[in-house]
Structure 1
Amino acid sequence: MKPSARSRLFRFIEARLTPGGEFGLHLTAGVALLVAAVALFGEVAEDMAELDGLAAFDRHVSDWMHGHAREPYTSLMLLLTHMHSVAGMAVLVSLLALYFWRRRARYWLLALLLTVPGGMLLNVLLKHVYRRARPVFEEPLLALPTYSFPSGHTAAAALFYGLLAAYVVMTARRWRVRALAVAGAAAMVALVAVSRIYLGVHYPTDTLAAALESCGWMAVCITGCSTLRRRREARSLKGET
């Protein structure tokens, strides 16, 4: 490699890793998360289609959880699943949007409105692409006529709590608060995923694929809004000089 080409490559890498750059570290991290999420989603989808890998255990896990269903766990799982239905998510998103509006966090508000509704629409599209039938039981706890892969409730939870955790990580000063936000978001997504498997309306790979799908879409939305904010800030600074 010629010295000039090597120098340009080093400058390019340095620019991609600069924390405050317009197209710096935030964009690099967002693209890396997107690529990883898409690749892993593809692996899970392939396993699901071929009933191989993780999908080979789908039916066993679903049967085991359905066979051990009992109160008060069933009522708790129903509460969790209803909280993260379309109506429940509309309430949660509205409350967080109001908070962002009052805090004048315009770019986070934009990211929220792109992330959750857009991600839920993407989930519906993916359901019709893969058309996987839901688990079937003789005495179902819950029955739904729509497709199974990926899980819409899990996707919605991952989008909402993931964005909320990202906001806390970016704005909180104490690392303990940041760690608690990430752990809490992961726990909520896991609980919603378990509730869907427990109630017999999804396989484990449905929920895993939903979480990966949401990570990829969230990376696009948050990175896009962050880039827009940084570009406008850079332009305003140039205008002042």
Structure 2
Amino acid sequence: MEEVKDYIVDKFGRPKNLFILAMILTIPFLFLVWMSFYDWGFIGLLDELIGNEFYEERGSLLTWAFIFITRLGDGWFIALFTIVLSLYIWRFRKNTRLAVWYFLTVSVGAGGVNQLVKILFRRPRPTHVEHLIVQGGYSFPSGHAMGSIITYGALLFLIIRASKTWLPVLIGSVTLLPLIALIGMSRIYLGVHYPSDVIGGYSLGLAMLSLSIGLYSVSLKDKGYKKGQR
């Protein structure tokens, strides 16, 4: 099993493969960008149809659960989580390179790039439905979707790199992947994002994460790091 894991990590960690994957992952985002120039067209209709399915399920208990889940993707929580984890990697794991990589990946990808794209497109938040939480700013792409997939996706990458068995990878996957999905769903349910905002956030977030992992892999090769020192 360890040999299989090493093979997968080696293949996944090749910079060329990751850069190609990054370009592929931007396709849904670029399609939505194209649709934005046509006032979202049929995407806008799909947004309303899909959104209505979420709104019809609203209830006090479910609302409380989704508000809690969405907080795990809030900017303040992501920032705090990133700082704490980066400090842990630097101080206790003794890996400055990896700590800096994680901090920059989240702060630049989930923070800087997302805000820049929001300002460029200035899509208003949904107005046809009640917002169950107060949320300012623009709508596209979803910062929570993009931030969660970069933050928790990068964490899963760290778990995969550090794990010597499949168990930590399995636990991390069944915990983090549903969390990422639920954070995106919470934004639609709470009425502060269109479904296309969430899809755009996931697409751009995955592309940024893939690009960042590729750059990290390049840095390891350039410095001649051995496998056990990564």
The verdict on a shared fold, with TM-score over 0.5 as the criterion, is: yes
Amino acid at match of 2:115: V
Q: TM-score, normalised by structure 2?
A: 0.84
CA contact (8 A) 2:139 2:193 kept: yes
Instruction: Write out the 4+ residue segments of structure 1 that deviate beyond 4 Å after TM superposition.
Output: 52-55
Q: 1:59 aligns with which of 48, 51, 55?
A: 48
Amino acid at match of 2:57: H
Partner of 1:115: 105
Counterparts of 2:13 and 2:188 in 1: how far apart (Å)?
A: 37
2:36 matches 1:45: no
Partner of 2:57: 68
> What are the ranges of 5 or more consecutive residues in structure 1 without an aligned counterpart?
1-18, 236-241
Cα deviation code 1:54-88 (max 9, x no counterpart): 55310122233223211111111111222321111
Q: 1:203 aligns with which of 181, 189, 194?
A: 194
Write out aligned runs for 1:1-241 (5 A): 19=10, 26-50=14-38, 51-52=40-41, 54-101=43-90, 102-119=92-109, 120-137=111-128, 139-233=130-224
Deviation at 1:201, TM superposition (A): 0.3
> What are the ranges of 5 or more consecutive residues in structure 2 without an aligned counterpart?
1-9
Q: Answer with 24-33 or 90-99: which moved more.
A: 24-33
**For the structure 1 residues 38 and 140, does the alpha-carbon distance in structure 2 shift closer, same or farther, using more than 3 Å as the test?**
closer
Cα deviation code 1:31-54 (max 9, x no counterpart): 122111222321233245443465
Counterparts of 1:234 and 1:83 in 2: how far apart (Å)?
A: 34
Counterparts of 1:234 and 1:81 in 2: how far apart (Å)?
A: 38
- TM-align CA RMSD: 2.3
CA contact (8 A) 1:159 1:218 kept: yes
Deviation at 1:176, TM superposition (A): 4.2
Higher CA-based Rg: 1
CA contact (8 A) 2:28 2:199 kept: no
Q: Answer with 180-189 or 147-156: which moved more.
A: 180-189
Q: Answer with 86-95 or 199-208: which moved more.
A: 86-95
Q: TM-score, normalised by structure 1?
A: 0.80
What is the number of residues matched between the two proteins?
Answer: 214
**For the structure 1 residues 95 and 147, does the alpha-carbon distance in structure 2 shift closer, same or farther, using more than 3 Å as the test?**
same
Identity over aligned residues, as a percent? 23
Counterparts of 2:41 and 2:167 in 1: how far apart (Å)?
A: 40
